[in-house]
Structure 1
Amino acid sequence: MQKWYTRSKRNRGAAASPQPGQRKRGLQGKPTPAPATRPTWGQQALLTGLQRDYTRFNEATDVDLSNPWLRWARHLTYQIAERRGWSQRVRHEVDRSLAILLSTHVDGDKIAYTAMSSALQPLRLSCDRATDVLNEMGILDDDRRPAFEDWLRWKLEDIAPGIACGTERWLRTLHDGGPRSRPRGIYTVWQYGRLARPILLAWSAGYGHLREVTRQDVLEVLEPLHGSDRDLTLVALRSLFQFCKNNGIVFRNPTARIRGSNQQAKVIQPLRDDQVQRSVAGAGRPADRLLVALAAIHAARSSAIRALQLEDIDLGDRRLVIAGRSRPLDELTHRLLVEWLDYRRTRWPNTANPHVLINQRTAFTLGQVSRFWLIAGFRGQEVTLDRLRVDRQLEEAIVHGADPLHLAVVFDLAEQTAIHYANSARQLLEAEIERGGPG
């Protein structure tokens, strides 16, 4: 897998971008705010529980830099900015936002996120970094309604109350996790909810509770479906009724002993060299070459790549921890990591973000890059990061004699997934023998 990558190395001697906060020689920087701490006394709020309206604030006449809460906030902003490498532009925007929010602040007040957003967004000021400061001060009231709540309310709309109750508990447990289960990915939750809603609506016309649903009802739902549509729907219903049975919502699981479609899984096909070469040639961003190596050599999922932190890399001992599993660091990935970390250090020298991969947005925060950013460099290409990961796992299966146990151990695959790769490898090897190929 490394031969094609070695040939793709190019000298990318682009000029370095200006650093965050960098000033031209001779210009006077903004003075450091005077040290300040949390005010120990001040005017108490006359009316508590009322949301302030910051949209009427006049920046020309209403700013009060003597307010002790604003002085404290500006001092905290300076400290956070130094830790995270905020640029002068970002510092100025945060300073301006805090002046709007804290010039009239008194002890006992809480700043509602929705009120802050209403005032800052029309001025094109970001709420994210002001939120960091207000959180550290302990005066932010995050009254935002989670998007999941609106989605859940819509999914349960018009479903019989007795059915909706158990369904809501199931979807919340999928989303949040429970005493005996971990949270599922949000895309899984969305898909299960999407598949279940039309079925639950149909059952609501005749039933008032999930315990009234029979095995025959489930079979009738599955009858018009075929292939993966049938299997995915059955998986969602199994998850729902198994949860309900485990929690005493239903007495019997009507999906028990209902088999899947038994369709023969498609044989995974290996990538051709020209496909891989085009993918490497299209890796234009500084991080893209490292992304290809992590997917094509270490079979890392997109989520694991985004979560990778600096402490997961041991360049000296050549070890790499991906998704909690320690792996040897090969020469190619080692070199690409060194190149990326050098670029990262030059581009964002003051960032405090612990993640290996950062961009212009996350360099000033502690969060991960988005999945959208991760795959942006491969959008429209024939070979994606996920396809490179699949090809690496298939290659391992072919080299090690189609052993599913080996695959499960090396890549932490589920049993059925490992068997699928092993079966594909076995069929590819048999086809090669029939054609009179090597081996």
Structure 2
Amino acid sequence: MTANPCFERWLAERLEGLAPGIRSEAERWTRILRDGGPRSLPRRVGTVWLYFNRVRPALLEWSNPYDHLREVTRVDVLTYTKALHGHKRRDQLVALRSLFTWARRNGLIFRNPTSRIKVGQYEYAVLQPLVPAQVRRSVAAATTPATRLILALAAVQAARVARIANLMLDDLDIGNRRLTIAGRARPLDALTLKLVLDWLEYRRRRWSNTANLHLLINNQTATKTSRAGNHWISAAMRGQDATLERLRVDRQLEEALTHGPDPLHLAEVFGLDEKTAMRYADSARALLEQAAEQHLRRNLLDRDAP
């Protein structure tokens, strides 16, 4: 894979402080995560960062008494994770299991010290809706035809950043007011339709001779046929409380609150898998119950007031 200076700088910084043998083994694992191997597919750079950042605290701790991963025992893992709780324990155990499974498969260790250590069920917090002020600030930050359309695709159509970037002109059916996202046709609401038309007009005037068939293009991709990068798609909302991802989540939560916490309905509307749809439904149910309790409490207080 072509060297990425940003990735190389990050990796060199994160490897600092590790014992030489552990450093070498962790570096090989990290590069396999990014590039893939004979028995593994390459991961996204963001996923690689997450995995390494999660194992690094343990590797730093073990770098004091040890020089190689093969010296780490099951007791070491249990002792380290004993102080962790909830999602932090789960996330670090999952990443450590990935590291030691790779090391065992490649003959770097004799026994996997994470084997048979239960990760535990992930306890999701109740999803919370965005407040209007957060949304207004993101709307104010969308100042170009492209960013306004991108915001609508996330906030109204609940489209992920990568799916927004992958949209093609053929995915639009203006006449029938339909938009196909990840193979699923969805109705185009009036607002999104207007923003689509505004963008198409701007696109036609700005890059009239482009051969790029992606819906969203920029100065770099207008002369190519590749899609715009995720970084460009999400740039305008970066630093906002209501990022594109939070706007997408908020849209799906709003659907669950408005139409009832029905996971089948959510799966049908947004193409969610069963587990994700149930998470949104559970959060909506908890929020609705909380609102009902607060309403009842206010009524009781009003009734008892002199």
**TM above 0.5:** yes
- Alignment deviations for residues 57-107 of structure 1 (CA, whole Å, 9 cap, x no partner): xxxxxxxxxxxxxxxxxxxxxxxxxxxxxxxxxxxxxxxxxxxxxxxxxxx
Greater displacement, 343-352 / 371-380: 371-380
**Comparing 404-413 with 424-433, which one deviates more in the overlay?**
404-413
Determine the structure 2 residue equivalent to 1:4: none
Alpha-carbon distance in structure 2 between the residues aligned to 1:362 and 1:402 = 41
The answer to whether structure 1 residue 388 and structure 2 residue 229 are counterparts is no
Change in Cα spacing, 1:434 to 1:396, as seen in structure 2 (3 Å) is same
Q: Which runs of 5+ in 1 are unaligned?
A: 1-141
* Secondary structure, counterpart of 1:216 in structure 2: helix
AA at the equivalent of 2:139: V
Distance in 2 (alpha carbons) for counterparts of 1:249 and 1:155:
21
Deviation at residue 175 of structure 1 after TM alignment? 0.9
Q: TM-score, with normalisation over the residues of structure 1? A: 0.56
Deviations 1:10-53 (A, max 9, x none): xxxxxxxxxxxxxxxxxxxxxxxxxxxxxxxxxxxxxxxxxxxx
Residue 377 in 1 paired to residue 236 in 2? yes
Structure 1 position 266 matched with structure 2 position 266: no
Quickly say closer, same or farther: Cα 1:406–1:258, change in 2 above 3 A.
farther
Structure 2 counterpart of 1:265, one-letter code:
Y
Flag structure 2 segments of 5+ consecutive residues without an equivalent: 297-306
Asked if 1:313 is matched to 2:142, the reply is no
Counterpart amino acid of residue 216 in structure 2: L
Q: Which residue of 2 aligns with 1:428?
A: 287
Read off the aligned partner of 1:311 and give its amino acid letter. D
Change (3 A) 1:248 1:411: farther
Which has the higher Rg, Structure 1 or Structure 2?
A: 1
Inter-partner Cα distance in structure 1 for 2:175 and 2:37: 40
**TM-aligned CA distance change 1:286 to 1:193, over 3 Å:** same
Give, in angstroms, the shift of residue 171 of structure 1: 1.9
Cα gap change, 1:210 to 1:377, in 2 (>3 Å): closer
Structure 1 counterpart of 2:142? 283
Alignment partner, residue 221 of structure 2: 362
Match of 1:210 in 2: 69
Contact 1:393 1:407 in 2 (8 A): yes
Encode CA deviations 1:269-297: one digit per residue, 9 max, x unaligned: 22344543454344321122211221112
Match of 1:101 in 2: none
CA distance in 2, matches of 1:251, 1:204: 19
What is the CA distance between 1:364 and its match in structure 2? Answer: 3.0
Residues 184, 271 of structure 2: 8 Å contact kept: no
1:302 CA displacement: 1.8
Tell me the C-alpha RMSD between the 2 structures: 3.5
Identity, % of aligned positions? 53
Residue 412 of structure 1 deviates from its aligned partner by 5.2
Select the structure that is richer in helix: 2
Displacement, 1:386?
Answer: 1.8
Separation in structure 2 between the aligned mates of residue 258 and residue 265 of structure 1, nearest angstrom = 21
Q: Given the superposition, is the C-alpha separation of residues 175 and 283 from structure 1 closer, same or farther in structure 2, using an over 3 Å criterion?
A: same
Offset of residue 397 of structure 1:
3.0
Structure 1 residue 408 displacement after superposition: 5.2
Contact 1:402 1:421 in 2 (8 A): yes
Describe the SS at the equivalent of 1:391: helix
2:160 partner letter: R
Aligned length: 293
TM-score scaled to structure 2, two decimals? 0.77
Write out aligned runs for 1:397-416 (5 A). Answer: 397-399=256-258, 401-404=260-263, 407=266, 410-411=269-270, 413=272
User: Closer, same or farther in 2 for the Cα pair 1:279/1:200, shift >3 Å?
Assistant: closer
Query: Residue 193 and residue 276 in structure 1: after superposition, are their counterparts in 2 closer, same or farther (change >3 A)?
Result: closer
Paired residue type of 2:249: V
Deviation at 1:174, TM superposition (A): 1.8
